[in-house]
Amino acid sequence: MTVRYGIIGAGMMGQEHMRNIFLLDGAEVSAFADPDPDMRTAAHNLSGAEGFADYREMLASGLCDALVIVTPNHTHINVMRDCLKTDLPILCEKPLGINVAECQEIAALTNARSAPVWVAMEYRYMPPVQRLLEEVETGTSGPLQMLAIREHRFPFLPKVNDWNRFNENTGGTLVEKCCHFFDLMRLILGGEPVRVYASGAMDVNHRDESYQ
């Protein structure tokens, strides 16, 4: 049996998911949806799948056995509301929502479903992280007392309408990017936080960016 994947959001990450699905046995990209015509063209050239301008039309097409949601962060809540009405398995790119209320609503909507819902926290599957987990579990360095994670990252990638530059769309850096590290901390430490503190500032990055 071939599992037919429908991709909602056919931009850079949507196309990355397509490439990964191509590597799986018994899987194919059967449909995708994106409102941007240039992204639809690029996704069609990559996958050969049927494209839709409106994801709701894709959901009604009967072409999909599973869904991957790869739309901008601030759109996840509305897309998930519609997708959760189906009986299809769903993989939603991180973050699930841009604030606590959105995440709580989505979690509540999953309670009545039999089909699974996953959030794409792929950092936990990276080989270096898997090796770290192995060393922690075997007690290589003794009992774990503290965990710190630091990322040195490149500037923001260019995306349609610069949506990823603005907190109102992403939820802010702690949501957009640091959700990976919060997930890893919980996984590696095997516990939940009891207190959270954050501080931040801008030093040199992104001072010269300009938008329409």
The per-residue pLDDT for range 37-57, each reduced to its tens digit, is 999 999 999 999 999 999 999
pLDDT band at 205 (very low <50, low <70, confident <90, very high): low
Indicate if the pLDDT at residue 11 is higher than 90. yes
Rg (CA), the chain: 19
| Contacting residues for 143 by C-beta, under 8 A, at least 6 apart | none
Domains of the chain: 3-120 (3.40.50.720), 123-189 (no CATH)
d(CA 51, CA 53): 7
Report residue 181's pLDDT band, with 50, 70 and 90 as the boundaries. Answer: very high
Mean per-residue pLDDT over the chain, rounded? 93
Residue pair 49/32 in contact by the 8 Å Cβ criterion: yes
Q: What is the pTM of this model?
A: 0.90
pLDDT band at 200 (very low <50, low <70, confident <90, very high): confident
pLDDT digits (tens, 9 = 90+) for 78-136: 999 999 999 999 999 999 999 999 999 999 999 989 999 999 999 999 999 999 999 99
pLDDT of residue 81: 98
